Structure 1
Amino acid sequence: MAGRPKIFNEHEAVEKATEVFRSKGYDTASADELLGAMGIGKGSFYLAFKGGKQELYVRSLQQFSEQFYQKFLESVGNAENKIEFIKQYFLSLADAPDCDKERGCYLGNALVQLSEKDQEIKKTTASLLKNLQQLFTDIIRKAQKNGQIKSTEDPEILGWHLSNLWNGIHVTRRMENSPETLRPLITLNLKLIE
């Protein structure tokens, strides 16, 4: 017996659950809140997510990170000057109105809060960061070859530096979210890719 067919869109349901996880956090998001947001009953939920809330959370992180990375990859791919795009992207983080709205915070929170408790969460969040680091590295390597940047530092290390900046700025925003403080801090870090 194959069971009842699904009568909901899993992608959309996971997207709705993501919003609950983003606003409440993994630990405080209740099953009722998740089911309500997803618009499904318990039976359908456990049929689709046999691992329960934890499986849903991992799927949420995977889907979210894939969408974030694809959107970022497309944006940087369309940019005429990729180094300038990266600089402007980082500087825009200083002006984002609040961390909850900044897409990267969801993944950063998962990495910081839960990665040591769950290897699947760690793998998912680390994978996105590694992809970003590699993308930064490739862009820097090409920019060095084309003479767009003066830095002769190892592109791999510079890619890690930008990945570290991405992580760091999201953590710093939890303590200090003033653009007047964040912008000079980001600008200082970006001097390595001039």
Structure 2
Amino acid sequence: MPESTNRALSVSGGLVLALLLSACGGAEEAEREPEPAAADADAGEETAQPREAVDLVDPMELAPDDLCQVLSEETLDELLGDEDLRSDPQSTTGVPDPEDLQELGRLRMSCLLVSASSHTLSFDMEIYEEAYADTDYPELTEADADPDIDLGDFAVTDDGLGGDGAGVTVVQGQVYVHASYTAMGGDQEEMMDGALLMAEELLAAAG
């Protein structure tokens, strides 16, 4: 075969080999570079923050043995006066009842304490099987909160109890607490301080 023909075949073969290698390299680059949409999806997965899990506790473990026995003697002395001026608790629902969980999906406890000096402490506690904010129809939300009160997850105040009392509702996880303090002719600010003191001790007793 003439030498010129051999050179032509060699050059032709080299070109074909170069084209094949170039095509393989291009395919590898295509595999390495994701489509823009896929890249965006991957970026979204990296930046998305998972929702923080809430550790739920059996309401019976959170509930105090008797809500009416929760407040400290110091608080009772300050808000109601000496022990001989106080009546017995005016409630029989201070002890948690497991049947409430089956019927209502929550525990409900309440207590009423009065003194001969016309001072009254009224307080309630509800403990849900889920976080209060996740219940079907929460009566209160953070939108109702008083920004000046740093207690629980959020707190809602009520100073419209006929001018003779003040109340506060506090939510903390599964626990919902309401406390009100009334005193004939009492100072509104002092009564609110008393209600907040009660709510703080009630929350501390839950769990």
If the TM-score is normalised by the length of the shorter chain, which range does it land in?
A: under 0.3
Q: Indicate the structure whose relative CO is greater, using CA pairs within 8 Å and at least 6 residues apart.
A: 1
Higher helix proportion (structure 1 or 2): 1
Q: TM-score under structure 2 normalisation?
A: 0.24
Q: TM-score under structure 1 normalisation?
A: 0.25
Greater C-alpha Rg: 2
